[in-house]
Amino acid sequence: MNFVSLKVLHSKTLLKNCFFSFLNFDIKFYRQVHKRRLNIFIVKRSCKSTLLPRTRCCQHLPNSFFSTVFYLGAAEMANKSSEGLPLKHVLSKLHAFASPALAESWDNVGLLVEPVTPRPIANILLTNDLTEAVMQEALELSTDLIISYHPPIFIPLKSVTTKTWKERLIATCLENRVALYSPHTSWDVVKDGVNDWLARAFDNEKVTPLMPHINLDPNSSLRVDVSVPSTLNRVSILQALHDRTTQADRELVHYNVLPSSENMVSLTCSESFKHLLSDMFPKTSHGSSGDLIGVSKYEGIPVAGHGTGRLCVLKKPISILEAVERVKKHIGIPYVRLALASDKDQDALISTVALCPGSGTSVLKGVKADLWLTGEMFHHDVLDAVHKGTHVILCNHSDSERGFLTSFADTLTKLLDSKVSVKLSLSDCDPLKTV
């Protein structure tokens, strides 16, 4: 019998939902364990479940010390090698919920760490921030994929060593073959994402994005609106558009027909397509087809319900004190910071709320609303808001975002047909506390 050393990973909950098994302690077993990354606890047969300390290794012990090993592991991991879904499949479901293309241009979203050797995703851990405490929790839960709302890699890394805590996180993911995904602002922008979750703190009549997300066609720089003469109809114009361009033209000079009214044909196209337009549409009694064509710069199409921030119109006015209580209950925190508008008291009624999870200064600035709700703002921006008649509620940066993960855990479980275990991190919390 060959003896090998095993690093002990000590779970905080040892006996809950666990199973027991005696296995021969040999090289084959070790390789199996190493491949599955199971939590291993080695005990003396003669002792009563004496677990080795979590930081101690079993090296340099004589072979005779153990005849068998007794190991604990989560019951759901008994057949882990045959469980789970491919990483690409999980990513496709994440993208179906919120495409990375929705994210702000400055953001760093998507798959940030990918194991070289593919393995099934059986356990997913959701966290608002990936800290070293959350990383340790992920290892103890045998996590295959960490979804961190905030991207752990934002400022580019010049090295992956153990010098800084950010580098250690990435090194640990690589060493333990843990994939890392960050959605960040794509979850802010998407309909039913973080912004809409925060808006549900109130009983709303209407909720609209403060900054609508614009769907831009990368192949289009112009918008062309063609009036349909009374002697024709929209279908005939579209047919003419198709008939008078060859397949080669359509591939070379891209165009895309937009939704429009019956007496208008709207399309987007590149500059190279513009010179063909006057020949595509029939002349009328009023002159050339050019008289019917309006060309403007293509600004994109707003995507319904998608965008940054939200403006909430309440079904009925409520006091600012009731608004505070609603926010605390919805987010699950005991305290918020409140700045009352000048010349207003706590009984003042509000009927509109502008909100932005996280740091909302740039989004909320200039927005007319009775109340601004966000995680954090600069001091002088708060002063400016209250002097312009707007109340401000601040509830810590990550506390204004984290609660969304609870509802998303259920959403992701359904998207993955309950074939993957999705857990919320218990170590994840805002670093700021009111004391």
Residues at the annotated binding site? 150, 188, 397, 401
Residues 375 and 169 sit within 8 Å (Cβ to Cβ): no
CA–CA separation, 260 and 402 (whole Å): 40
Binding annotation for a divalent metal cation = 150, 188, 397, 401
Compute the Cα dihedral for 247, 251, 254, 259 and give only its sign.
positive
- Give me 386's structure tokens: 């209250």
Map residue 136 onto helix, strand or coil.
helix
- Give me 272's structure tokens: 């190279």
DSSP H helices, 270-392, are 271-274, 277-280, 320-331, 361-364, 379-387
Q: For 215, how many CA atoms within 13 A lie in the half-sphere containing its CB?
A: 11
Residues 269 and 222 sit within 8 Å (Cβ to Cβ): yes
Closest to 73 (Cα-Cα) out of 37, 24, 45, 26: 37
Residues 24 and 68 sit within 8 Å (Cβ to Cβ): yes
CA–CA separation, 144 and 176 (whole Å): 9
CA–CA separation, 394 and 335 (whole Å): 10
How far from chain centre, in Å, is Cα 330? 20
Closest to 195 (Cα-Cα) out of 187, 203, 205, 204: 187
- Give me 225's structure tokens: 């609106």
- The secondary structure of residue 311, as a DSSP letter, is E
Give 163's contacts (C-beta < 8 A, 6+ positions apart). none
Q: Residue 358 class from Cβ within 10 Å (0-12 exposed, 13-18 middle, 19+ buried)?
A: buried
Compute the Cα dihedral for 230, 236, 241, 244 and give only its sign.
negative
Closest to 318 (Cα-Cα) out of 366, 362, 352, 269: 352
